[in-house]
A and B are shown apart, each in its own frame.
Chain A
Amino acid sequence: MAILQTKNLSKVYNPDTVPVHALRDVSITIDKGEFTSIVGPSGSGKTTLLNMLGGLDKPTSGSVWVNGEEITSMKESKLIDFRLHNIGFVFQHYNLIPVFTAHENVSFIMLLQNRSKKEIRERADDLLEQVGLGDRKNARPVQMSGGQQQRVAVARALASEPKFILADEPTANLDSTSAMNLLDIMNKMNREQNVTFVFSTHDQRVIDRARRVITMVDGAIHKDEYRDVEETAEN
């Protein structure tokens, strides 16, 4: 079942001066439960594509559909609300709220969804346990390592129960051990809870774990391959 689809997606920056074609007629379909990496050299358009999929940027032409709903024509306020309930984000720089603890960071998005206090508390506890930070829930970002912060970011992305999670270079700032640890957690959630992940990455470790790899060159899809990947989750 397709939960994410793009149709002839194009993005041109500076169309009136020096046009830069960031995306050229990109059409992809991502089904529920996929663990997909979008790869390619710098400037190939993978981050632009990820921003379009997340409704953070508007295409010059074409459309993006999430769970059968077109988001490219949505008004900004509706799109923000749509993101809140449908899309999870993991950023390269973690982007946690520095004045909040790990637990508060995970709870925050559920507060925005107006969930009950009890549900928020229990779900935040559960998610932090799942990412291995049950004992660090009262730590603030500055008191945590990069790997721990990114795990909190994954827990936050999952907290809103999104249709899929977009992760932009999630391991770029992590050491090898932390990166593998994070990938194990995401892999496990994908396998056990059928959570859909879409990454943009340069990191071969992430690419090696992906069951689908979309390679982009010059804003267009160069290769789209499905693979059998040996499961290595330790958690």
Chain B
Amino acid sequence: MKTLLTIAWRNIWRNPARSGVLLAAIVAGLWAGVVTVGIINGLMQQRIDYMIESEITHAQIHHPEFLAEGYSWLYIPDHDEIISRLENDSRVLSFTSRTITDGMLQSPVKTSGVRIRGIDADKERETTTFHENLIEGEYLDSGMSSAILIGQEMAREHSMEIGNRVVLTFEDVNNELISASFNIVGIFRSASTDYDRTNVFIRSEEFIKLLSHKPVYHEIGMMLVHEDLAGEKVADLNDHFAGIKAQTWRQLSPELSMLVELGGVMVIIITMIIMAALAFGILNTMLMALFERMREIGMLISIGMSKLRVFTTIMFESVILTLTGAAAGFLLAWITIGYLSGSGLNLEMFAEGAAQLGWDHIIYPVLTPGEYVIIIIVVVLITLISSLYPAIKGIRINPLEAAKSS
């Protein structure tokens, strides 16, 4: 075995330029591929994490018809019992209740449709990272009454700034139109300009007073110990409470769920392209090497080298060459991803466009150990498969080749 390995290793370096080019191609290809996969993963993961942590949370509870209709009278029944159950569940890290309805925002400039979100400033801060989106002014825990937070895009469209007043108009739980004025205390900017144009935040306690004579909540968002627990938690709530609809973030945001799947598909496509290039690179190099050594291999079979040993030598040659390049490529990719996961890949030039699409322009690539292992396994399998043809061709060489004059 050691001898076969020695032959394989020395054969690789028989033509250093050719082997070097293939090695460089493998290193560059795998490095680029793995880093790209890491960037796509990071991009998707950041988007998902941001959406979950800043707004959606792992799971939400609504009146069964609220999300489709949006009326204020479609509030959550048994709210207090649900809260009590959440407080006593170790799987729940934190939760917050929101009072929500759709309405109109009127400024001296224009009127536009908005989703009015009444939040408990403290509970919201414990549950989501929305408060981190504040870029100007104060959060809702300031002392000012009738405070409102608006998005940067809305402020721009309505030409408003901190201290200006706006009027919100909406229907209360009795289907009566209510109008109230609010003071702009803060301006936020999320990853999505569309979200910033269509959402405003007020205190839930003030909102409830305008909507109803009793506390009404339309949404309960909860963060769990782990995202994977969302499915069982919503099933548990749906089983226990008849008049509600609990949903996981995947059910609440099918587009986000689709994004995860899209990311997976893109990773597979990129991996397939890299693997196809790798396979053809190995095939080309090994076949060239084989055709150059027909007489030599014929001689080996003539003098008594078994076909299994010839096969093994050719396989060793492909595997050593490819895996050496692959190891270097992976190492380089690991270092690159390690560096970028700390500092981030700053795509400042695309910041504006990315924000309109709801994406962050600083990407932190991510590749889990499991993904590294999967890619390594795929590389090894592709190497073995693409080495098979040259190796089989090698053992089919007629020993009479050894006697040929040219």
Contact = CB atoms under 8 A, between A and B. Distances in A.
B299 A91 contact: yes
A84 interface: yes
A95 B306 contact: no
Interface stretch (B67-75, B274-282, B319-327, B395-403): B395-403
A144 interface: no
B317 to A, nearest CB: 11
Contact of A98 (B14, B304, B399, B402): B14
Interface in A71-96: 76-77, 80-81, 83-85, 88-89, 91-93, 95
Nearest to B304: A84
B14 A77 contact: no
A112 interface: yes
- Decide if the interface of chain B is mainly helix, strand, loop or mixed: helix
A85 B399 CA distance: 16
Contact of A56 (B3, B296, B300, B399): B399
A233 interface: no
Interface string B381-406: 00000000000000000011011010
Contact of B295 (A95, A99, A111): A95
Contacts of A84: 303-305
Contacts of B300: 97
A85 B304 CA distance: 8
A108 interface: yes
Contacts of B405: 92-93
A109 B304 contact: yes
A90 B224 CA distance: 77
Interface residues of B, number: 23
A89 B296 contact: no
Interface residues of A, number: 30
A54 B309 CA distance: 20
Contact of B403 (A47, A81, A83, A100): A47
Contacts of B46: none
B81 to A, nearest CB: 79
Interface string B1-30: 001000100110110000000000000000
A95 B299 contact: yes
A50 to B, nearest CB: 8
A180 to B, nearest CB: 23
Given A56-B400, A99-B7, A160 B14 contact: no
Contacts of B301: 80
B295 A89 contact: no
B302 interface: yes
Interface in B290-315: 295-296, 299-307, 309
Contact of B7 (A85, A97, A156): A97
Nearest to B8: A99
A47 B165 CA distance: 105
Given A97-B7, A99-B10, A112-B309, A168 B296 contact: no
A165 B307 CA distance: 22
Nearest to A99: B10
A160 B302 CA distance: 13
B379 to A, nearest CB: 26
A93 B302 CA distance: 14
B167 to A, nearest CB: 86
Contacts of A190: none
A51 interface: yes
B302 A83 contact: yes
A97 B399 contact: no
Given A93-B295, A95-B295, A54 B302 contact: yes
B7 A160 contact: no
B304 A160 contact: yes
7 contacts: A85-B304, A95-B299, A98-B14, A99-B13, A100-B7, A111-B3, A112-B306
Interface of A: 47, 51, 54, 56-57, 76-77, 80-81, 83-85, 88-89, 91-93, 95, 97-100, 108-109, 111-113, 156, 160, 168
The 7 A-B pairs of least Cβ separation, nearest first, read A84-B304, A99-B10, A95-B299, A83-B304, A56-B399, A111-B3, A89-B302
